[in-house]
């Protein structure tokens, strides 16, 4: 590969290059990259490379980070993308660490101003405590490493309060969005309030409810991105499952699972809200769940609208 490190570049250009490389590897799911990164030591003999998180990969590629990623992170990302591309047949071979010098030179160009004098050669591993051949991470006073994505969480938190698994900035829903979510009853109205407080889980749930409507995919994607910024793992899963725009059937699957969790937690009214959304997204199995709940609760929760897809005519 040609060494073009002298070509003027900046952080935005470098992130664009990372995105182009990611696209050339057929956009491997973020969580697959995270899984692959756990085995880089045994695959390439490179110790000390960081394990990627799906959240961090998303934020870097989306340009949400204020600084360019560290050299070690870039090395992990490149190796993981190449590996997944080879494993899935997108590339005929895995070039391994041979591509890292190119990417490290591109990163050096992005880290400093074009007019900066050449820097001294990077110290070896014995001086930095890191793997050889990598650029030491610039240290800026008052900064801390970005948190890794949480692992092993249950899919649903039907009984949990606001604030977990993460917080994001308060989300201003449109009048139409608030009305659509409030139509799901008390739980929907609670979600609107929690989303306005910056609760990432509430934002994710609002996105799921809205996303089951096939006409509102772009709105749901924007909300999922906000939830992902708050390190919500299921928001990232849903974005991963629909890389070319939200599939309302995928949103319906998430709504169904949220309904199952709520039913298991003894919250039938909440379960009904998610099952109704799942039916609206075309998952008709959820209609049977609605029937089961109404048969078990008698007339207390009976409402003909539960049998109609959200926003559709009764009985449709």
Domain that holds residue 63: 11-112
171-212 per-position pLDDT tens digit:
889 999 999 999 999 999 999 999 998 898 999 999 999 999
**Residue at a domain's end among 112, 130, 157:** 112
pLDDT of 298? 54
The answer as to whether 25 is a domain residue is yes
Contact of 28 with 91, CB cutoff 8 Å: no
The answer as to whether 19 is a domain residue is yes
The mean-pLDDT minimum among 50-64, 65-79, 136-150, 216-230 falls in 136-150
Question: What are the backbone angles phi and psi of residue 203, rounded to the nearest 5°?
Answer: -65, -40
pLDDT of 125? 35
**Residue at a domain's end among 112, 135, 150:** 112
**Number of C-alpha atoms within 13 angstroms, CB side, residue 217?**
15
Between 288 and 6, residue with greater pLDDT:
288
pLDDT of 212? 95
Rounded Cα gap, residues 70 and 306, in angstroms: 51
The mean-pLDDT minimum among 59-63, 242-246, 271-275, 312-316 falls in 312-316
Same domain, yes or no: 79 and 193: no
Rounded Cα gap, residues 253 and 286, in angstroms: 10
Phi-psi region of 141 (alpha: psi -120 to 50; beta: other; left: phi over 0): beta
The total number of structural domains that make up the chain: 2
Residue 169 pLDDT grade (very low, low, confident, very high; cuts 50, 70, 90): low
Per the confidence metrics, is the pTM higher than 0.85? no
The radius of gyration of the chain's CA atoms, rounded to the nearest angstrom, is 23
157 pLDDT more than 60: no
Between 293 and 3, residue with greater pLDDT:
293
pLDDT of 296? 75
The answer as to whether 170 is a domain residue is no
The answer as to whether 93 is a domain residue is yes
98-150 per-position pLDDT tens digit:
888 889 888 888 876 544 444 444 444 333 333 433 443 333 333 333 333 33
The mean-pLDDT minimum among 84-93, 217-226, 239-248, 284-293 falls in 239-248
Same domain, yes or no: 187 and 294: yes
155 pLDDT more than 50: no
pLDDT of 308? 47
pLDDT of 143? 33
* CA distance between the termini of the chain: 59
Rounded Cα gap, residues 56 and 121, in angstroms: 28
The answer as to whether 125 is a domain residue is no
Q: To 10 degrees, what angle do helices 54-61 and 11-24 make?
A: 120
Same domain, yes or no: 179 and 301: yes
Residue 227 pLDDT grade (very low, low, confident, very high; cuts 50, 70, 90): confident
Contact of 21 with 57, CB cutoff 8 Å: no
Rounded Cα gap, residues 245 and 238, in angstroms: 10
pLDDT of 105? 84
The answer as to whether 246 is a domain residue is yes
pLDDT of 104? 84
Only one residue has tokens 């956009």, namely 27
The answer as to whether 50 is a domain residue is yes
Residue 9 pLDDT grade (very low, low, confident, very high; cuts 50, 70, 90): low
Q: Which two tokens stand for residue 161?
A: 């309060």
Q: Which two tokens stand for residue 244?
A: 């070319």
265 pLDDT more than 50: yes
For 271, counting Cβ atoms within 10 Å of its Cβ (0-12 exposed, 13-18 middle, 19+ buried), the class is buried
Secondary structure (3-state) at 167: strand
Same domain, yes or no: 103 and 201: no
The answer as to whether 228 is a domain residue is yes
| Most distant pair of Cα atoms in the chain: their distance | 77
* Range 154-177 average pLDDT: 57
**Number of C-alpha atoms within 13 angstroms, CB side, residue 291?**
6
Same domain, yes or no: 22 and 102: yes
Same domain, yes or no: 198 and 296: yes
Contact of 205 with 173, CB cutoff 8 Å: no
pLDDT of 113? 55
Same domain, yes or no: 106 and 223: no
Same domain, yes or no: 202 and 296: yes
37 pLDDT more than 60: yes
Alpha-helix residue ranges (DSSP H) falling in the chain: 11-24, 30-37, 40-44, 54-61, 71-87, 100-111, 125-128, 175-182, 186-196, 200-211, 217-229, 233-241, 248-264, 268-280, 285-297
Same domain, yes or no: 179 and 303: yes
Same domain, yes or no: 105 and 196: no
Contact of 160 with 145, CB cutoff 8 Å: no
Phi-psi region of 160 (alpha: psi -120 to 50; beta: other; left: phi over 0): beta
Same domain, yes or no: 185 and 267: yes
Same domain, yes or no: 100 and 180: no
The mean-pLDDT minimum among 52-61, 139-148, 278-287 falls in 139-148
**Residue at a domain's end among 112, 134, 162:** 112
* Range 68-92 average pLDDT: 92
Instruction: Using alpha carbons only, give the angle 213, 166, 170 rounded to the nearest 5 degrees.
Output: 65
């Amino acid at each position: 590969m040609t060494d073009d490190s002298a070509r003027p570049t900046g952080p935005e250009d470098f992130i664009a290059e990372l995105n182009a490389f990611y696209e050339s590897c057929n956009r491997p799911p973020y969580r697959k990259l995270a899984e692959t990164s756990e085995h880089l030591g045994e695959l390439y003999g490179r110790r000390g490379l960081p394990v990627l998180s799906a959240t961090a990969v998303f934020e870097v590629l989306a340009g949400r980070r204020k600084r360019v990623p560290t050299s070690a992170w870039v090395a992990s990302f490149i190796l993981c993308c190449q590996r997944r591309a080879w494993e899935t047949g997108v590339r005929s071979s895995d070039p391994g660490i041979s591509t890292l010098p190119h990417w490290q030179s591109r990163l050096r160009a992005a880290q400093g101003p074009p007019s900066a004098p050449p820097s001294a050669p990077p110290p070896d591993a014995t001086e930095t405590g890191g793997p050889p051949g990598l650029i030491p991470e610039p240290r800026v006073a008052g900064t801390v490493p970005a948190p890794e994505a949480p692992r092993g969480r249950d899919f649903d938190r039907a009984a949990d309060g606001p604030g977990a698994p993460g917080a994001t900035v308060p989300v201003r829903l449109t009048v139409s969005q608030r009305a659509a979510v409030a139509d799901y009853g008390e739980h929907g109205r609670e979600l609107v309030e929690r989303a306005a407080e910056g609760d990432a889980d509430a934002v994710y749930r609002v996105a799921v409810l809205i996303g089951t409507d096939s006409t509102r995919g772009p709105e749901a994607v924007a909300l999922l991105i906000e939830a992902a910024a708050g390190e919500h793992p299921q928001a990232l899963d849903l974005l991963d499952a629909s890389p070319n725009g939200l599939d309302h059937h995928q949103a319906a699957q998430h709504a169904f699972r949220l309904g199952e969790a709520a039913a298991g937690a003894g919250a039938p009214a909440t379960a009904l809200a998610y099952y109704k959304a799942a039916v609206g997204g075309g998952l008709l199995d959820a209609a049977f769940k609605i029937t089961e709940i109404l048969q078990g609760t008698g007339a207390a929760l009976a409402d003909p609208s539960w049998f109609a897809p959200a926003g559709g005519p009764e009985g449709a």
